Structure 1
């Protein structure tokens, strides 16, 4: 099913429009306020600078003060009801803003800006915690992509609308006020259609102390090291994006020689690119949470960030170009490509990270982890502002600051992928499998989303574990012949995936016993374990008799057993067909069609060896 079909589902559509309308209003109000203060009130430059620098701080301050409290609210109470209260709060804030616009009362407008920051702070933990409750596991990446796309476009349209409405001669404040109030009311009406999302921790003891609760929320966020590093990756995305967007006005004016319309154009390119990248994530990941896209996104941010520097490193010789004049200028399309692709790779980078956090965090603390993420995001945004101001004070131009951020991204990416090698492992797996094969999957919903299970699969080629790794929705620990485990280069992948090497009884009894112990420990921890019961690669394309290892595992740890079958790998360069016939081991089918099929799970008592073997043969069929 296409992710766009979610817009026709009540499980998703009302929430999507609620959050998109809220993002529109945040940006419409902020930009309308800046236009009023900077261009229509006759204030001196010093006063304008004070207000424009104070505004972002006031908007982001609630993230530090109230994110932890918002996380508790989202855990303890039913989420759709909280959303309705938040939208009523937004209507009240926009009514106050209308008074501020009409009377040109800057202090009142700054108070509203703080209130809108509080609105976003409260909505944030709900925004991402509600998705795993509303969506199926194979919809999670697509849903996140739609939310990211909708947010980017709503922010962009809101910025343009806020500027344009305030410029209406004689009626700007009234037009901006009316629009933001109407949008807030529409957001409330949309929120009333959101289905109930039950509390995930109704017995949570509420802590009203924001300081101690912030410390506790950050502690919860750090409990799972993999999730915490994904959160750090998301926060780095906000750092990079803040540096980029903060420098765009100067870059537009000084390097591109453009006017305000060119600044709007470059913001549009970045936002559209991010939306496109977010939407592509679902197709590229095959409806799974695929963190292998994160290194790809990091590479793209650096590559096109560096190219943006070389595309236009010098000051413009012509100034005052409008957007059409800019598009007709020499070298423009390289800048357009760089800005758009930075956005696309931003989508590849951040959407899988959000989906990863949602998939790996228990439901009863997901909202608080998202709250911790928001606190760290706010911190990194402040650091990004200091980074840009500091480099600017040292005399670096906007385009040189782009280059510095792109190169710093290399260091951060290497750090993240070193401490979370799973991201790099998934990238290698994703590239290898999607380069060599076109994989069709069927029946993977039979694999339990939570809890232990044993997967049994036929063994056709050396690539079997990689094909499974790249397509299973949950991480699994593979039991594999120790000589395959030790293949150079792939050993990194198998070791990072915590594969379990095994040897025959006659080869190494100690390795065999250790393998059984590790399998039992993994199942005891609630993991998936995949075993190839034939005991080796098929030599003739047929399925060999299953060995008794499955029974031995189930005797120690009775768990559900899910039969799997691989089709289409026999005859590939990685199978034994060529070596058996003494042919040259060259691939004959590039991007060969491969299928992975899963059958219904068996209860431990019903998972007899002959039953499982028969079922895997049926699933495999004649397509070896």
Structure 2
């Protein structure tokens, strides 16, 4: 499959009146699974919130685009998928492979050509290569650089994983940040309730492509991977700060470090409570 080019689609996709609104050129032909999901997801995103879609011009271009986003709610992939469809592109989202084992969900993910990623055991390279193959075929691929929903107490992006840099360096792909804000108020991560009413304002905003020209052509090593991943995640964080209207933190939240500190504190507390009392003399 070569690089995709704009095509005119009139009368293709869901029928009028089902809540699907798209403007501008359409770059790829949607299959039946994608059109079915549009019928459900386009109106669903408006029922669950009051979304605004900004910066679509950064995605509405032919050829491969690596989309990097912040992850603050399990609703994020739904809103980003709708955002990408409104730009005329078809999303190929990297998601944990265990979702393919869920009845019906797995069939939909396969039908819409999402990309399964195994966690641990070195199997993640298979999903990473599948994502790179999709980019080289001229598609749009979405990855969350942190690899999971943010555990940062204030919902900022976390320390990035190396996969995003490996993808960005695999070819001269535009790397475009797309952030959401407001989804965490509707469906907070880790089951802290579901709050669709009153309908919250949800912003999905794309920024200009991230400039990685300084890293192109260099030998790929661990240091380069780290530097590129931090530049990419920094662009996501800075765009989110603009959307939120507050200063961004200097450092990224380190989930593993936080877990180690909590474990050490818990062990210290347990040791203090179980220590025998010193007998009085």
> Which category of TM-score, normalised to the shorter sequence, fits these structures?
0.5 to 0.7
Alignment correspondent of 1:503: 118
| Closer, same or farther: CA 426–495 of 1 in aligned 2, 3 Å | farther
What are the Cα deviations for residues 260-310 of structure 1, in whole angstroms up to 9, with x where unaligned? Answer: xxxxxxxxxxxxxxxxx6xx78xx434347xxxxxxxxxxxxxxxxxxxxx
Question: What is the CA–CA distance in structure 1 between the aligned matches of 2:59 and 2:214, rounded to whole Å?
Answer: 17
* 8 Å contact from structure 2 (residues 49, 196) kept in 1: no
* 8 Å contact from structure 1 (residues 559, 603) kept in 2: no
Question: What is the CA–CA distance in structure 2 between the aligned matches of 1:468 and 1:451, rounded to whole Å?
Answer: 18
3-state SS of 1:438 partner: strand
Q: Which of 75, 80, 85 is 1:468 aligned to?
A: 80
What are the Cα deviations for residues 342-372 of structure 1, in whole angstroms up to 9, with x where unaligned? Answer: xxxxxxxxxxxxx86xx547xxxxxxxxxxx
Alignment correspondent of 2:129: 517
3-state SS of 2:183 partner: coil
- Displacement of 1:450 after TM fit? 0.5
* 8 Å contact from structure 1 (residues 482, 503) kept in 2: yes
Alignment correspondent of 1:479: 94
- Displacement of 1:493 after TM fit? 3.6
Structure 1: where are the runs of 5+ without partners?
Answer: 1-131, 146-229, 238-276, 290-354, 362-416, 579-584
1:273-284 alignment to 2 at 5 Å? 284=19
Alignment correspondent of 1:434: 46
TM-score, length of structure 2 as denominator length: 0.67
- Displacement of 1:604 after TM fit? 4.2
Alignment correspondent of 2:143: 531
3-state SS of 1:565 partner: strand
Alignment correspondent of 1:611: 231
| Closer, same or farther: CA 533–586 of 1 in aligned 2, 3 Å | same
What are the Cα deviations for residues 447-491 of structure 1, in whole angstroms up to 9, with x where unaligned? Answer: 252011111001111121111111212112111222355555443
* 8 Å contact from structure 1 (residues 534, 546) kept in 2: yes
Greater share of strand: 2
Q: How many residue pairs end up in the alignment?
A: 223
Question: What is the CA–CA distance in structure 1 between the aligned matches of 2:234 and 2:170, rounded to whole Å?
Answer: 23
Question: What is the CA–CA distance in structure 1 between the aligned matches of 2:35 and 2:73, rounded to whole Å?
Answer: 24
- Displacement of 1:428 after TM fit? 2.3
- Displacement of 1:605 after TM fit? 2.8
- Displacement of 1:557 after TM fit? 2.6
3-state SS of 1:571 partner: helix
- Displacement of 1:426 after TM fit? 1.9
What are the Cα deviations for residues 567-593 of structure 1, in whole angstroms up to 9, with x where unaligned? Answer: 112233252372xxxxxx232534321
> RMSD of the TM alignment (CA)?
3.4
Alignment correspondent of 1:376: none
1:586 and 2:194 equivalent? yes
* 8 Å contact from structure 1 (residues 559, 604) kept in 2: no
Question: What is the CA–CA distance in structure 1 between the aligned matches of 2:245 and 2:111, rounded to whole Å?
Answer: 31
TM-score, length of structure 1 as denominator length: 0.32
Q: Which of 23, 36, 61 is 1:424 aligned to?
A: 36
* 8 Å contact from structure 1 (residues 567, 623) kept in 2: no
Structure index of larger Rg: 1
| Closer, same or farther: CA 549–424 of 1 in aligned 2, 3 Å | same
Q: Which of 190, 205, 212 is 1:576 aligned to?
A: 190
Question: What is the CA–CA distance in structure 1 between the aligned matches of 2:56 and 2:196, rounded to whole Å?
Answer: 29
Alignment correspondent of 1:409: none
1:285 and 2:11 equivalent? no
| Closer, same or farther: CA 535–601 of 1 in aligned 2, 3 Å | same
| Closer, same or farther: CA 430–524 of 1 in aligned 2, 3 Å | same
* 8 Å contact from structure 2 (residues 28, 90) kept in 1: no
Q: Which of 548, 561, 566 is 2:180 aligned to?
A: 566
Alignment correspondent of 1:90: none
Alignment correspondent of 1:542: 156
Alignment correspondent of 1:599: 207
Question: What is the CA–CA distance in structure 1 between the aligned matches of 2:235 and 2:36, rounded to whole Å?
Answer: 35
1:229-240 alignment to 2 at 5 Å? 230=12
